[in-house]
């Protein structure tokens, strides 16, 4: 499967405004840079983020013997019938609302979503216990999600029927948008990434896929971006198909489990200066931590057997596009003002405002023709 990211270009060519849309990765985009500067806006392309249907019978566990007495704390403020849904559909962002609740009720508490209870997981320790010891028992997706989404067109891929999980949102596009915005607000990071590109690739050839493994600072930048702005801040819900115990609490069959990745990845007990954008941390203090679901402090792609199967593809696409952009162009803020980093409501963590950026070619025009 190929994923495309659309980039719209507004170019001033001899006083005339020209609009073009490119699908990245596409060499014609990089060939365009014949004039001095132009502005770009990254836009969402319909992207299908699928999830397989629930587990087959053979994946189910035999029932463990558990006492049902110890229930996780339930957040106050549930209304009849809808439970806590009113709290999640207000003006605040759900991951932030649930994050504030975690400060009050702890890193494992329940909310009522209509008739269903959901365990909200807000620390790496609880996440680890859910998705190691209890991974098989929690490896199902709620059927209502599947049913609600089944009205959307299904994709059939290698014999597995997928339904849409994150709608027409594009997690790859979201990652690119946040990274570009962070570059614009942190010119020193941008400069350092370009220096790495010059050292590893040079100025007489294009960035190739084989260069990516050497671009460790760029990889650190992407990790730090999806730490602070996980494209799916609340991981897709799981459903317990067996009774289980999580940090001493009874998790009954049918309970939803939602991990607040945004909260986990900003945990001040794990991360120094958790709200600061510091890609260097992944080259020093947090060097060994990757995003592949082994380190529960950083799980933007989820964890366990239902973790994201698109991780390698997503990382490859994001790394290559960013490397090519940074290598070929200077990024300039047209207004000079800092980029607004407000997040918006939705299943994916989309920025509220479009990123406006001027791209100035760094090399002579013939290099972009190659
Ligand atoms: C930056 C890009 C992406 C991010 C951050 C991301 C994140 C996630 C997360 C958090 C989950 C839920 C995992 C869990 O419950 O533990 C997930 C599931 C999934 N993702 Fe992604 N994803 C990305 C890109 C992709 C791509 C490119 C594809 C496919 C080409 C893809 C396919 C899927 C599928 C099929 C599932 C459902 C897996 C299952 O239910 O077993 N994702 N993703």
Q: Is the shortest distance between the CB of 111 and ligand 1 below 6 Å?
A: no
Pairing, β 38-43 against β 238-239: unpaired
More confident residue, 61 or 203: 203
pLDDT of residue 37: 52
CA angle 245, 251, 254 (to 5 degrees): 140
Q: Is the shortest distance between the CB of 349 and ligand 1 below 6 Å?
A: no
pLDDT of residue 33: 46
Ligand 1 atom at minimal distance to the Cα of residue 231: 5
Please say if the pLDDT value at position 370 is more than 90. no
Which residue minimizes the CA distance to atom 43 of ligand 1?
A: 308
Q: How confident is the model over 94-117, as pLDDT tens digits?
A: 999 999 999 999 999 999 999 999
Residue 222 CA, ligand 1 centroid: distance in Å: 16
Helix runs in 150-285, H state only: 171-185, 187-200, 216-228, 261-264
Pairing, β 160-164 against β 155-157: antiparallel
Tokens of 39: 């502005």
Please say if the pLDDT value at position 132 is more than 80. yes
pLDDT of residue 348: 65
Q: Is the shortest distance between the CB of 175 and ligand 1 below 6 Å?
A: yes
Average pLDDT, the chain: 79
More confident residue, 8 or 201: 201
Q: Is the shortest distance between the CB of 94 and ligand 1 below 6 Å?
A: no
CB 264 within 8 A of CB 226: no
- Among 64-68, 179-183, 231-235, which stretch is predicted with the lowest mean pLDDT? 64-68
Which residue minimizes the CA distance to atom 32 of ligand 1?
A: 310
Pairing, β 256-259 against β 238-239: antiparallel
- Among 32-41, 164-173, 277-286, 340-349, which stretch is predicted with the lowest mean pLDDT? 32-41
Residue from 346, 255, 365 nearest 35 by CA: 365
Residue from 180, 171, 170 nearest 339 by CA: 180
Please say if the pLDDT value at position 21 is more than 50. yes
Please say if the pLDDT value at position 7 is more than 60. no
Q: How confident is the model over 142-187, as pLDDT tens digits?
A: 875 443 433 333 333 333 333 444 433 478 888 998 999 999 999 9
Ligand 1 atom at minimal distance to the Cα of residue 232: 10
Ligand 1 atom at minimal distance to the Cα of residue 171: 2
State the Cα–Cα distance between residues 360 and 135, nearest whole angstrom.
48
Tokens of 221: 């930048």
Q: What is the dihedral of CA 118, 123, 126, 129, to 10 degrees?
A: 120
Q: What residues pair up with 109 in beta bridges, in sequence order?
A: 120
- Average of per-residue pLDDT across 270-284: 97
Q: Is the shortest distance between the CB of 49 and ligand 1 below 6 Å?
A: yes
Please say if the pLDDT value at position 276 is more than 90. yes
Q: Confidence band (pLDDT; 50, 70, 90) for 357? A: confident
Q: Confidence band (pLDDT; 50, 70, 90) for 243? A: very high
Domain assignments of the chain as residue spans, ordered by start:
50-168+236-260
pLDDT of residue 210: 96
More confident residue, 293 or 263: 263
State the Cα–Cα distance between residues 351 and 347, nearest whole angstrom.
12
178: left (phi over 0), alpha (psi -120 to 50) or beta: alpha
Q: Is the peptide bond before 239 cis (omega within 30 degrees of 0)?
A: no
CB 354 within 8 A of CB 44: no
Residue 334 CA, ligand 1 centroid: distance in Å: 34
Q: Evaluate the CA torsion angle 253, 255, 260, 263 in order and state its sign.
A: negative
Percent of the chain with pLDDT over 70: 72
Type and span of the H or E element at 258: strand 256-259
Percent of the chain with pLDDT over 90: 54
**What is the 3 state secondary structure string of 159-179?**
CEEEEECCCCCCHHHHHHHHH
pLDDT of residue 161: 34
Residue 128 CA, ligand 1 centroid: distance in Å: 18
Give the list of residues 6+ apart from residue 50 with CB closer than 8 angstroms, or none.
155, 157, 162, 163, 164, 165
Q: Is the shortest distance between the CB of 237 and ligand 1 below 6 Å?
A: no
Which residue minimizes the CA distance to atom 39 of ligand 1?
A: 306
Give the list of residues 6+ apart from residue 274 with CB closer than 8 angstroms, or none.
266, 267, 268
């Amino acid at each position: 499967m190929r994923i495309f990211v659309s980039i719209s270009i507004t170019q001033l060519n001899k006083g005339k405004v020209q609009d073009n849309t490119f699908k990245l990765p596409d060499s014609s985009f990089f060939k365009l840079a014949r004039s001095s500067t132009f502005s770009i806006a990254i836009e969402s392309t319909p992207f299908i983020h699928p999830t397989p249907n629930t587990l087959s019978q053979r994946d189910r566990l035999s029932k463990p013997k558990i006492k049902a007495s110890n229930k996780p704390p339930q957040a106050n403020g549930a209304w009849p019938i809808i439970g806590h849904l009113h709290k999640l559909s207000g003006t605040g962002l759900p991951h932030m609302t649930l994050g504030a609740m975690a400060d009050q009720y702890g890193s494992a508490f329940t909310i009522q979503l209509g008739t269903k209870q959901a365990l909200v997981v807000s620390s790496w320790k609880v996440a680890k216990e859910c998705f190691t010891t209890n991974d098989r028992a929690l490896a199902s997706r709620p059927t209502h999600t599947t049913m609600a989404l089944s009205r959307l067109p299904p994709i059939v891929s290698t014999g597995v029927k997928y339904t849409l999980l994150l709608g027409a949102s594009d997690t790859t596009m979201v990652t690119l948008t946040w990274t570009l915005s962070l570059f614009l607000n942190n010119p020193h990071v941008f400069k350092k990434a370009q220096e790495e590109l010059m050292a590893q690739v040079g100025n007489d050839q294009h960035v190739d896929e084989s260069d990516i493994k050497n671009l460790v600072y760029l990889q650190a930048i992407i990790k730090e971006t999806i730490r602070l702005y996980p494209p799916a801040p609340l991981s897709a819900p799981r459903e317990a198909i067996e009774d289980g115990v999580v940090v001493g609490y009874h998790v009954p069959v049918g309970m939803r489990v939602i991990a607040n990745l945004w909260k986990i990845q900003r945990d001040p007990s794990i991360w120094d200066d958790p709200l600061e954008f510091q890609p260097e941390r992944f080259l020093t203090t947090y060097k060994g931590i990757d995003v592949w679901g082994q380190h529960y402090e950083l799980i933007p792609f989820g964890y366990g057997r239902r973790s994201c199967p698109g991780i390698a593809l997503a990382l490859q696409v994001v790394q290559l596009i960013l490397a090519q952009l940074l290598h070929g162009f200077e990024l300039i803020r047209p207004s000079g003002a800092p980029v607004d980093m407000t997040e918006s409501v939705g299943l994916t963590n989309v920025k509220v405002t479009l990123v406006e950026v001027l791209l100035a070619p760094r090399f002579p025009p013939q290099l972009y023709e190659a």
